[in-house]
Homo-oligomer: A and B are copies of this chain.
Amino acid sequence: NKKYTIAVLPGDGIGTEVTPVAVEALRLAGSLEGLDLRFEELPIGGAALDLVGVPLPEETLRKAKQSDAVLLGAVGWPKWDDNPKHLKPITALLQLRAGLEVFSNLRPITVFPQLVDSTYLRKDTAEGVDLMIIRELTGGIYNAHPRGFTTNEQGDEVGFCTESYSASEVDHIARVAFDIAKQRRSKLCSVDKATVLEGSMLWRKRVTAMALEYPEVEVNHLLIDTAAMDLVRHPRQFDTILTGVMFGDILSDLAAMIPGSVGLLPSAALGDSGPGIFEPVHGSAPKHYGKDTVNPLAAVLSAAMLFRYGLKEENAAKRIEKAVSDVLDRGFRTRDIHTPGTTLVGCKRMGEEILRSL
């Protein structure tokens, strides 16, 4: 039996509700494929602040590094909102990404045929959408040098931070995107603001150059403002979208409106080697916490991505995805995707039905 260690970081709020569901799905799908999974639960975010006073304890980072993959829930809780930045829960996320050097963020957006009524768009617009957003994750304006606060000549307080991309950073993430596009429908759309930002101008130049190495991939470039419009009016035109950390944050949340719930969206953050981070796109959702009403499918689909991209166990990934589709066929829906004629269930029950389908 192949052995894997999974670091499990439930974090805060509904992270602690959906993560156990994903763990059980991993365990069962893994054992059906003859895999031996060991889970190690570690604190992060507000939970870690409560326990040891920092959002990302050293031990959490060390054990995450030693693991084969990291399953993350969500971080953030209102009681920490006024903390200084280095003591905010979300800082843990930025530190974990940096610590594991996961520079590519994969965010697939798929409209399940069973859920087309959940879309916030028009049904005919959302039908059949199946796209993948590849977001650069550790550079750009998030990882700004220099950044900070200063006083200008007029004695005025200024907050500043530098957007930058280097040729090798662009090449690094673009390579990932071209390779993924090739395995999909071979269409790559690169999104930037090359009319204004120098980082974007370089971005466009490098992507254009790399396209020559991938004659089979059809490449186009969109400005971020146009891309935002096109995700709403013609989302089926997209196959693989490549973009930077800031625009990727906006586009991937926006794209969540196509399936209609962030509760359906998984993500993976990958490096060149070492463990990736697999987490639902939704946050800790304080409003919904503790009611057993949230949707665990984003976490469960993140578990599928963990098998596919983290452990290269494609069969186990497919098992989970099939189980999700089966549960939807059997009519089970959490509150966020509930429509007339389907069966409303809570988070735990949804988890049980996933195991049954598996």
Q: Which residues of A contact B (CB under 8 A)?
A: 88, 90, 120-122, 125, 141-142, 147-149, 152, 154, 156-168, 193, 195-203, 224-226, 228-229, 232-233, 246, 249-250, 252-254, 256-257, 262
Partner of A256, one of B195, B200, B229: B229
Assess whether A157 is in contact with B163, with CB atoms less than 8 Å apart. Answer: no
The 8 A-B residue pairs whose C-beta atoms are closest, nearest first, are A159-B198, A160-B164, A159-B202, A225-B253, A232-B257, A228-B254, A159-B199, A158-B166
Assess whether A157 is in contact with B166, with CB atoms less than 8 Å apart. Answer: yes
A187 to B53, CA, bound (A): 38
Could you say which of A142, A159, A249 has the most chain B C-beta atoms within 10 Å of its C-beta?
A: A159
Shortest beta-carbon distance, A287 to chain B, in Å? 13
Shortest beta-carbon distance, A33 to chain B, in Å? 36
Shortest beta-carbon distance, A232 to chain B, in Å? 4
Assess whether B164 is in contact with A159, with CB atoms less than 8 Å apart. Answer: yes
Which of chain B's residues have a CB closer than 8 A to the CB of A200?
Answer: 159
Query: Other than the known A122-B122, A142-B196, A229-B256, what 18 A-B pairs have Cβ atoms closer than 8 Å?
Result: A120-B232, A147-B198, A149-B198, A149-B202, A159-B199, A160-B162, A161-B198, A162-B162, A193-B249, A224-B250, A225-B252, A225-B254, A228-B228, A229-B253, A229-B254, A232-B232, A233-B257, A250-B250
A162 to B141, CA, bound (A): 9
Assess whether B166 is in contact with A152, with CB atoms less than 8 Å apart. Answer: yes
A199 to B157, CA, bound (A): 10
Assess whether B250 is in contact with A228, with CB atoms less than 8 Å apart. Answer: yes
Known: A196-B141, A228-B228, A250-B250. A158 touches B152 (CB 8 A): no
